[in-house]
Amino acid sequence: MLVHYKCPNCGADMNFDSASGHLSCGSCGHEEHIDTYDDVNISHSFEEEEAKEYQCENCGAIVITDKDTTATSCSFCGAGVVLADRLSGDLAPTKVIPFTISKEEAMQAFKKWCKNGRLTPKGFMTADRVKGITGMYVPFWMYDLDNDVEVKATGTKVRTYTRGDYRYRETHYYQVHRDLDVSYIKVPVDASEKMDDQLMDKLEPYNYGELKDFKTPYLAGYLAEKYNYTDQELFGRVKEKVAKFIDSYVASTISGYSSVTYDRKHIDTKQRNSYYVLLPVWMVYYDFDKQEHTFAMNGQTGKIVGKPPLSYGKAGAWFAGIAGGSFIIFKSIALMLGGGWL
């Protein structure tokens, strides 16, 4: 099933506009609020089976999609289309964070980011080889988790004092016990097979104030994918992710010791809730030195992640500068205090 959003004014195709947060018509400039957009204007075209080919009802061209795609644009007429049957039932997202950064802004921000690359080769900094930039709604699972944490640890406090000709070192050992409830809300884990997990983790945090109830028009004009893994399948990943948070939380409740060694740490993680959400990501594909580099930009905050190429010359220059500079500083301090040249 292919869904088009028609402009009630002129009948052209409408796309989501990141600046206003509304559907906007490219031809007449008409804007429609997503919450009030009349269903009459949504035109459906049904397909008999879950095919990978759809027919664009605008121009009649075949829209070929990936099996995971839920929103795309017709490659011939450019109309934003949403594959509604892939967003219904179990596959219906509950929430979405709409794009707030437009394609042009994303491109500008990316160019600026390249220019600031302190360790990237010169040719890379101009960002003139950007092959493509794609706005994409990436499927995430968000978990509300309750953790029951029990920790047994040994803490030491060390006191030193001198009496007579002796220096005393007194070590007090304490048995530390903590029983904690730690809850986390909306911890995101990306559910797309194609996306690099590390890259997606670095994109966080998203501002959850902008979390909206899911409506298909948000996807108009962007690419979107459905999840490849269910929330149960990804539970292990979120537990792993949260375990690190718990460690820091536990450490923050144990203070005043010179050293702490953990004897036992038991974490029982329970899932209270999970939501299927779509989060906005700009994917930037950059050809440099016969290699394709992929970068991702948080479509809401503009944070850019991805490994840019490394210029060994520049890294060497930085190293020489910093090491040389510190050596000169050390040497001048030493000379000022009267140290020799050698």
Partner 1 sequence: MRKYLIVLSIITFISFLVVPAALAEEQYIYDDGELFTEQEREELTQLAKEYSAENEISLLIVTATELGGRDVVQYTQDFYDDHGPGYNKSHGDAAMLTIDFSANREVYLAGFYKGEEYLDSGRLDQIREQITPYLRNENFFEAGKLYLEKADQYLGVNPAINPESIFLKTWFQLAVAVIIGGVVVGSMIFNMGGRVTVSHQTYVDAKRSRVKSKSDTFIRKTVSKSKIQKSSGGRGGGGGGGVTRGGHSHSGSRGSF
Q: Which residues make up the interface to partner 1 (CB under 8 A)? A: 117-120, 144, 146, 155, 162, 165-187, 199, 201-202, 204-205, 244-249, 252-253, 303-308, 310, 315, 318-324, 326-327, 330-331, 334, 337-342
340-to-217, 327, 332, 337 alpha-carbon distances in Å = 74, 14, 10, 9
Q: Which is nearer to partner 1, 88 or 171 (CB)?
A: 171
Q: Are 138 and 252 in contact (CB under 8 A)?
A: no
Minimum Å gap between C-beta 234 and partner 1 is: 15
Q: Which is nearer to partner 1, 68 or 249 (CB)?
A: 249
Minimum Å gap between C-beta 264 and partner 1 is: 14
Q: Which is nearer to partner 1, 119 or 130 (CB)?
A: 119
Backbone angles phi, psi at 153, to 5 degrees: -145, 165
Minimum Å gap between C-beta 272 and partner 1 is: 9
| Nearest-angstrom CA–CA distance, 78 and 251 | 53
β-bridge mates for residue 44, sequence order: 3
Minimum Å gap between C-beta 271 and partner 1 is: 14
Minimum Å gap between C-beta 140 and partner 1 is: 13
Q: Which is nearer to partner 1, 36 or 248 (CB)?
A: 248
For 64, other C-beta atoms within 10 Å of its C-beta total: 12
3-state secondary structure of 224: strand
Residues near 332 by beta carbon (within 8 Å), at least 6 away in sequence: none
Residue indicated by tokens 């011939």: 76
Q: Which is nearer to partner 1, 229 or 245 (CB)?
A: 245
